[in-house]
């Protein structure tokens, strides 16, 4: 079976978006922004924080939240089914859930390497498969945004396994965009280091060094990444299979 190149219909803006890891940090900021933009949002995380619960209470008709470990595929499937029953078919996915790392590779336990890979690479690939299967089975189009990291493109000590998973997701982003033939737009957003919990893995000396080398003179804030995620989910841009770096040019 060979596919001729035919002009495809544009992928419509997402209206029901599934966000993994939506309880704090960037994930919470994404959920907040999408709700403020009038979208319906299904968000899960290992723990539903008071902040996420408050959002759900404020928008009960447009929000579905739950406590799900992204590595628990059965639980994720059940969550997606329940979310679709409540909000309608999911046509947007933000793979945001991830665990960080703060250990030199030679001192990272084998079990911890496996856990990082399972959470940051295997689980989002499985969740993506689940979401795309539902989109295709119902003849729908959709959009996927993978939250990766500047670590996928630049080296940082103490983040070897983490970087490998983020690089893996960048690569998967490109292949998925090809494979899904414009029916589902797939992109990645790679933030620089946040002055937040994920950046706690870097020492103050490293953070100061990154700030000095950043033309904008500041670390990235979640609020600066959110508009890019929204653009990829909502706007008609023909951006597909790309990794968009948001780091104030620290990495150039």
Partner 1 sequence: MKELSRAQIRDLMGEVLKNQGKALPADDAADLREVGFRSLDFSELALRVEDATGEELNFDAPGLRRIATVGDVLDFLVELQRQ
Q: Should residue 6 be labelled a site residue for partner 1 when binding is judged by CB under 8 A?
A: yes
> Residue 167: phi, psi to the nearest 5?
-65, -40
State the binding string over 138-157 for partner 1 (x if CB under 8 A, else -): -x------------------
As to burial, measured by CB atoms within 10 angstroms (0-12 exposed, 13-18 middle, 19+ buried), residue 169 is buried
Measuring CA to CA, which residue among 251, 208, 21, 231 is closest to residue 123?
21
Angstrom distance (rounded) from CA 24 to CA 200: 15
CB of 68 to partner 1, least distance (A): 22
Q: Which of residues 174-233 bind partner 1 (CB under 8 A)?
A: 180-181, 183
Other beta carbons less than 10 A from residue 212's beta carbon = 9
Number of H helices and number of E strands within the chain? 8, 7
- Which residues participate in catalysis according to the annotation? 162
Q: Distance between CA 55 and CA 50 in Å, rounded? A: 9
Residue 35 binding partner 1, by CB under 8 A: no
CA 194 remoteness from chain centre: 15
Which lies closer to partner 1 via its Cβ, residue 137 or residue 252?
A: 137
Find the shortest distance in angstroms from Cβ 136 to partner 1.
Answer: 5
Beta carbon nearer to partner 1, 4 or 50: 4
Residue 136 interacts with partner 1 (CB under 8 A): yes or no: yes
For residue 134, the minimal CB distance to partner 1 (Å) is 9
| Size of residue set near partner 1 by CB under 8 A | 12
Contacting positions for partner 1 (CB under 8 A): 1-4, 6, 133, 136-137, 139, 180-181, 183
């Amino acid at each position: 079976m060979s596919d001729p190149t035919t002009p495809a219909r544009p992928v419509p803006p997402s209206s029901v978006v599934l966000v993994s890891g939506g309880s704090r940090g960037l994930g919470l900021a994404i959920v907040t922004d999408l709700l403020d933009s009038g979208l319906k949002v299904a968000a899960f995380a290992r723990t539903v924080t008071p902040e996420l619960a408050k959002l759900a209470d404020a928008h009960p008709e447009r929000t579905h939240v739950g406590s799900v470990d992204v590595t628990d595929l059965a639980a994720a499937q059940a969550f997606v089914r329940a979310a679709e029953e409540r909000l309608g078919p999911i046509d947007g996915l933000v793979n945001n859930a991830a665990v960080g790392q703060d250990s030199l590779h030679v001192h990272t336990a084998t079990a911890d390497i496996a856990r990082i890979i399972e959470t940051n690479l295997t689980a989002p690939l499985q969740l993506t498969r689940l979401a795309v299967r539902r989109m295709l089975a119902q003849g729908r189009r959709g959009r996927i945004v993978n939250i990766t990291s500047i670590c996928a493109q630049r080296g940082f000590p103490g983040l070897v396994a983490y970087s490998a998973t983020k690089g893996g997701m960048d690569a998967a982003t490109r292949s998925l965009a090809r494979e899904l033939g414009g029916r589902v737009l797939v992109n990645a957003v790679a933030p620089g280091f946040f002055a937040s919990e994920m950046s706690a893995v870097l020492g103050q000396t490293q953070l100061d060094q990154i700030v000095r080398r950043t033309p904008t003179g500041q670390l990235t804030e979640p609020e600066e990444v959110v508009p890019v995620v929204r653009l990829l989910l909502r706007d008609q841009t023909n951006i597909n299979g790309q990794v968009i770096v948001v780091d104030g040019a620290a990495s150039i």
